Amino acid sequence: QKEVEQDPGPLSVPEGAIVSLNCTYSNSAFQYFMWYRQYSRKGPELLMYTYSSGNKEDGRFTAQVDKSSKYISLFIRDSQPSDSATYLCAINGGTSYGKLTFGQGTILTVHP
Partner 1 sequence: NAGVMQNPRHLVRRRGQEARLRCSPMKGHSHVYWYRQLPEEGLKFMVYLQKENIIDESGMPKERFSAEFPKEGPSILRIQQVVRGDSAAYFCASSSGETQYFGPGTRLLVL
Which residues of this protein are in contact with partner 1, per CB under 8 A? 32, 34, 36, 41-46, 49, 51, 88, 90, 92, 96, 98-105
Tell me the closest approach of the beta carbon of residue 14 to partner 1, in angstroms.
27
Minimum CB separation of residue 85 from partner 1 in Å reads 14
In this complex, which beta carbon is closest to partner 1, that of residue 69 or of residue 96? Answer: 96
Q: What is the closest distance, in whole angstroms, from the C-beta atom of residue 12 to partner 1 in the complex? A: 19
Cα–Cα distance for residue pair 98/101, rounded to 1 Å: 10
- Closer to partner 1 by CB, 79 or 101: give it: 101
E strand residue ranges, 3-111: 4-6, 11-14, 19-25, 30-38, 45-50, 54-58, 61-66, 71-76, 85-93, 101-102, 106-111
